[in-house]
Amino acid sequence: MAESFPALPTADWPYLQILVRLALSLSLGLLIGMERERRGKEAGLRTFGFICLLGALGGALGTAFSLLILALVGMLTVLLNVQALRVTQGTELTTSAAMLVTCMAGILCGQGHTILPAAVMVIATALLAWKEGLAGFSMGLTESELRSALLLAILAIVIYPALPVGTVGPWNLIEPRAAWVTVILIAGIGFVNYILWKLYGARGVVFLGFLGGLVNSNFTVIELSSRVQPSSSAFVESAYRGILLATTAMVMRNACLLLILAPLALVGSLAAFVLMLLTSMALVLWSYRRRDRPSGEEAPQMKLELPFSLPLALKYGAVFLLLHIVGAVTQRQFGDMGFYFVSIIGGLMSSASAVAAAATLASQGSISPTVAGTGAVLASFTSIAFSLSFVLRKHNRALIGRLASAMVYVAVAGIIGMLVWDTVHPFMLHWIPQLEGKAG
């Protein structure tokens, strides 16, 4: 009589699919293992390759096997640290954490994920490879810089979700979340710019004008023009380039705000912004070709103030809300011309807030995207003229003459861009429906 045995559990795996998962896990393990091997660690290329491959097998087998393999890798990290302590090398906490992350990424690969484990492993490898740079940057942080970073995180992560959704108020003119997004966006641009300034330093007029213009173009113009004496030609060339670069950064920042907050509004003003940028950059390049910088002139130095603080956030928020409310009311009462007037006045206070207010009104449907784009260009014009007023106070004819001509060229380029759009826009409205009909 033949004995009967219970059938063992089996699983039919699609061969190519499992092979792809294992190959992905192996490549990711070798990526981080290569970095550890280069630093001479005990756990290197092969170890991390095996760990990620083992995690992929556990992920393919199921949850129970995944937890078992994760526990085994945890025991391996304990043995690694015990061995390191025996040879008086200290603990390998970073390598141990990398091993656990690698195992989890392998499990995700085994479960069929692709983008997520790849992104995690690339980030983990970057953290290991940038050890010196990250350590140097963190040690160089001051207490005020750290407080500003925490404040920015609180405003973005803690306060924003608590704000009410939609419009509030008797006339539905205020949208708290839209105002707060604008505050965070403008402050974030300044904070990133401050980090770049801290990493690369003030390397002459290029960084001074451009990076300073991203934070506050008027402050940069005041700082540069203050170094020019009324009857001296010293520093005129550097101040000229720096102010032009600050203007370039201001125009680029306003265009980016439109792109992020109301992309359709940028379509109508794209030609104006592009021509203004090209003109200002061409003038800067032409100034380098002149090569008339006086010998012995030192590169300008300027210490940027901390780009994010609570007063700065309140200023941007108050200006944005004021322009948003006044712009909506004047547009309802006086039409587009009323909104244009508010945009021009708003450019004197803050062109970034004026552009953000115009973009928000367009995204809410209060004004058309074309009107919002035109208002953003007008606010940029006002900011350029306001910056030039600071230069006029220095009574230096050489600088005033060159900058006045340059600003006129930039403004004319913007006006030409607006006229081009006004000419092309009707034809686009006429041809787009016909093209859609033919495609259908």
Alpha-carbon span 224 to 208, nearest angstrom:
9
Say whether both 87 and 100 belong to one domain.
yes
Say whether both 250 and 124 belong to one domain.
no
Q: Which amino acid is at 408?
A: V
Report which listed range, 142-151, 189-198, 299-308, is most confident: 142-151
Helices 263-290 and 397-439, interaxial angle, to 10°?
140
Instruction: Write the CA distances from 408 to 112, 163, 279, integer angstroms.
Output: 60, 43, 10
Residues in the chain: 440
Say whether both 301 and 214 belong to one domain.
yes
- For 244-264, the pLDDT digits (tens) are 888 888 888 888 888 888 888
DSSP label of 156: I
Say whether both 239 and 185 belong to one domain.
yes
Q: In this structure, is residue 59 part of a structural domain?
A: yes
Domains of the chain: total: 2
Locate 151 and state its tokens: 């404040």
Alpha-carbon span 396 to 232, nearest angstrom:
8
Helices 351-364 and 310-334, interaxial angle, to 10°?
50
137, 171, 197 — which closes off a domain? 137
Report which listed range, 105-109, 345-349, 355-359, 429-433, is most confident: 105-109
- For 71-118, the pLDDT digits (tens) are 999 898 888 888 877 776 667 788 888 899 999 999 999 998 988 899
Instruction: Write the CA distances from 92 to 25, 81, 212, 265, integer angstroms.
Output: 23, 6, 42, 54
Count Cα atoms within 13 angstroms, Cβ side, for 397: 1
pLDDT at residue 39 tops 70: yes
Question: Residue 439 has what pLDDT?
Answer: 39
- The SS3 assignment for 164 reads coil
Say whether both 274 and 383 belong to one domain.
yes
Alpha-carbon span 59 to 65, nearest angstrom:
7
Alpha-carbon span 364 to 371, nearest angstrom:
13
Q: In this structure, is residue 5 part of a structural domain?
A: no
Q: In this structure, is residue 9 part of a structural domain?
A: no
Q: In this structure, is residue 182 part of a structural domain?
A: yes
Say whether both 240 and 161 belong to one domain.
yes
137, 169, 201 — which closes off a domain? 137
Locate 346 and state its tokens: 């708003």
Q: In this structure, is residue 6 part of a structural domain?
A: no
Question: Residue 247 has what pLDDT?
Answer: 84
Say whether both 101 and 179 belong to one domain.
no
Question: Residue 219 has what pLDDT?
Answer: 64
DSSP label of 111: T
Question: Residue 107 has what pLDDT?
Answer: 93
- Of the chain, the percentage scoring pLDDT greater than 90 comes to 11
Say whether both 127 and 173 belong to one domain.
no
88, 113, 137 — which closes off a domain? 137
Say whether both 263 and 198 belong to one domain.
yes
Residue with tokens 């001074």, as numbered in its chain:
208
DSSP label of 158: I
Closest C-alpha to 344, from 373, 370, 383, 371: 383
Count Cα atoms within 13 angstroms, Cβ side, for 376: 40
Say whether both 133 and 159 belong to one domain.
no
Residue 162's CB is within 10 A of a number of other CB atoms, namely 8
pLDDT at residue 200 tops 70: no
Say whether both 258 and 403 belong to one domain.
yes
Report which listed range, 82-86, 207-211, 404-408, is most confident: 404-408
Question: Residue 263 has what pLDDT?
Answer: 85
Residue 198's CB is within 10 A of a number of other CB atoms, namely 14
Q: In this structure, is residue 3 part of a structural domain?
A: no
* pTM greater than 0.85: no
Range of the domain at 131: 15-137
pLDDT at residue 303 tops 70: no
Residue 128 pairs with which residues in a beta bridge? Answer: none
- Confidence class for position 241, pLDDT limits 50, 70, 90: confident
Q: In this structure, is residue 7 part of a structural domain?
A: no
Average pLDDT (407-434) is 75
Helices 310-334 and 176-200, interaxial angle, to 10°?
130
Residue 381's CB is within 10 A of a number of other CB atoms, namely 21
Say whether both 174 and 319 belong to one domain.
yes
Q: In this structure, is residue 429 part of a structural domain?
A: yes
Alpha-carbon span 49 to 106, nearest angstrom:
10
Closest C-alpha to 422, from 370, 372, 368: 370
**Class of residue 78 by CB neighbours under 10 A (exposed 0-12, middle 13-18, buried 19+):** exposed
